[in-house]
Amino acid sequence: MDSVPASLIINRATPHETLAAIREAEERGVPAMWSTLAGISPDPLTLFGAAAVQTARINMGTAILPTYPRHPAALASQAQVLADLAPGRVRLGIGPSHQFIIEGMYGMPFEHPLENLREYVTVLRGLLWDGAVNFTGRQYRVKARLAGGAPPPRIPIPVSALRPPAFRLAGEISDGAISWLCPVPYLVEVALPALREGAEAANRPTPPLIGHVPVAISEDLPAVRAAAQKLIGPYARAPFYARMFADAGYPVTADGKMTDELLDALVVSGNAATVTARLEAIRAQGIDELMVTTIPVGDVAAEEAAVGAVLAGLAPDA
């Protein structure tokens, strides 16, 4: 898959609405989109199967699929369908998720998450890139090969990363590090060096750093902050995120809320020209791809269309 300057996170209330939004994004020239998975929500891989036959160009990625509930061999089986329906247009973003989700929701032990991720990628890459795997680890023991005679699809496998050990692991084993709500200085000063360190240790090229950026097409800063607090504020109560925000110099409040300073560091806002300039400036600092969430403030449809137009117009080599 060719590199893209920016991609759009698309999630709607129903699969029909999401499919319509993906088609609209392609028509506007958005090069790539991501679908997130929150709790027991519609499965993005099933959704991508439908989107694959209704689109021709837009790239699709998961950000992220939790590893614990879905065996890597089962994911490889699903991925083969997408590789055939949308060749070269799919990325499988995976990650261990969080303890309160894996244990609290699924009732599964959340043990050694980075070890889990390393082993998961080993199995998944063996199947999708080599066509077979014979692996014995602490969490997975898999001996399998792809059925049929088709060559392995070699779908890119980016992984989630939030703090330095995860970024180092991404550098070692992945096809990209997917960050989420990391302030840009943290990505540049902490994440990128760790990503490069992991790649150097594995004697491989540094994979892309994918930076998550919330965007609001609005010049009303108080309204932007209020909308952002509602949409992304709950992350401040998740322990992994609270620690990352503190490491980045933006500790959350005692009652688990984002400060205005943190919101301003995370959210790019302004008119379309201002947002475009800021996104290009972020990419110029070494962020390979921007993964954009729209923060609706007023007219949701108009603002989402404006964000799509901004992303479609970003220069590939900004």
Residue 181 · residue 149 · CB < 8 Å: no
Bigger pLDDT: 265 or 37?
265
Looking at the predicted structure, is the pLDDT value of residue 12 above 70? yes
Q: Cα dihedral sign for 170, 35, 256, 238?
A: negative
More confident residue, 40 or 199: 199
Structure tokens at 61: 């990625």
H or E, element range at 148: none
The share of the chain scoring above pLDDT 90, in percent, equals 86
The domains of the chain, with CATH numbers, are 6-217+272-313 (3.20.20.30), 220-270 (no CATH)
The arithmetic mean of pLDDT across residues 200-220, rounded, is 97
Q: Is the pLDDT of residue 233 over 70?
A: yes
Condensed to tens digits (0 to 9), the pLDDT of residues 142-170 reads 999 999 878 999 999 999 999 999 999 99
CA distance 193 to 188: 8
DSSP-derived 3-state class of residue 270: strand
Closest CA to 185 of 282, 88, 254: 282
57 CB neighbour count, 10 Å cutoff: 12
Strands 94-95 and 65-66 come out as: parallel
* pLDDT (0 to 100) of residue 100: 82
Q: Where are the alpha helices (DSSP H) in the chain?
A: 15-28, 44-52, 72-85, 99-102, 113-125, 164-173, 184-186, 192-201, 221-232, 239-247, 260-266, 272-283, 300-313
Q: What is the pTM of this model?
A: 0.95
Cα–Cα distance measured from residue 241 to residue 246, given in angstroms and rounded to the nearest whole number: 9
Residue 315 has pLDDT above 80, yes or no: no
Taking 80 as the threshold, does the pLDDT of residue 123 lie above it?
yes
Q: What pLDDT score was predicted for residue 159? A: 98
| Rounded mean pLDDT, 285-304 | 93
pLDDT in tens, 175-188: 999 999 999 999 99
pLDDT at 3: 77
Asked whether the predicted pLDDT for residue 304 surpasses 90, the reply is no
Mean pLDDT, rounded, of the chain: 94
CA distance 274 to 183: 18
Please list the helix, strand and coil fractions of the chain in percent, rounded to the nearest 5, in that order. 45, 15, 40
Q: For 229-240, what is the mean pLDDT?
A: 93
Contact 44/75 with Cβ under 8 angstroms?
Answer: no
Higher pLDDT, 3 or 272: 272
Give the residue among 142, 122, 198 at the shortest CA–CA distance from 165: 198
Per DSSP, the three-state class of 300 is helix
pLDDT at 14 over 80: yes
